[in-house]
Amino acid sequence: MAEAEAGGVALAGAASGVAGTPAPTATPICPIYASPFTIVNNKLSFQITNNSGVDYVISTLYISWPDTPTQSLVGIDLAGNTFWNGTQATSPFNGNSGSWTGPEDYRTIPPYSSRTITFTFTEDLPAFSYFIQISFDNGCSLAISN
């Protein structure tokens, strides 16, 4: 332990360093989990579980997929509520608050609950080479890949 002096007396356990040095920012505890994903035809989905007492709201979302000339991402929904639709013709997709449709509830995982997120594409999907990262409004994020 560091020792500091105060009026000639050593203080055991006192923090050393330069006065005014900010303490490191704590990494948030993020009790948010993703299940392995499933692919059925043109849909990729997985469950997100919120093991906390607060809402988790999706703020940004990144997905990369095997890029082919005719494959496009056309929709993203959470628990059946579409919060993005359009045509993303090339991988990857980067979504943020300027991209979303519908109310915030469409992107919210309530406390102590799970919601299924589904990505819809124009064609049937291969079984491999996906990477998804979702960030939430509280600074937490999760990533899933295969």
108: domain CATH number is: 2.60.40.10
Number of structural domains in the chain: 1
Q: Residue 44's domain spans which residues?
A: 30-145
- Ordered per-residue pLDDT tens for the chain, 146 residues: 433 334 444 434 444 445 566 766 666 689 999 999 999 999 999 999 999 999 999 999 999 999 889 999 999 999 999 999 999 999 999 999 999 999 999 999 999 999 999 999 999 999 999 999 999 999 999 999 99
Distance (Å, rounded) from C-alpha 84 to C-alpha 70?
20
Is there a domain that residue 5 lies in? no
Is there a domain that residue 47 lies in? yes
Write the DSSP symbol of residue 7: T
Is there a domain that residue 13 lies in? no
Is there a domain that residue 105 lies in? yes
- Strand blocks (E) in the chain: 3-6, 9-12, 32-34, 38-40, 43-50, 56-64, 73-78, 81-88, 93-95, 108-109, 113-121, 131-136, 141-145
Is there a domain that residue 106 lies in? yes
Is there a domain that residue 108 lies in? yes
Is there a domain that residue 8 lies in? no
107: three-class secondary structure by DSSP: helix
Is there a domain that residue 16 lies in? no
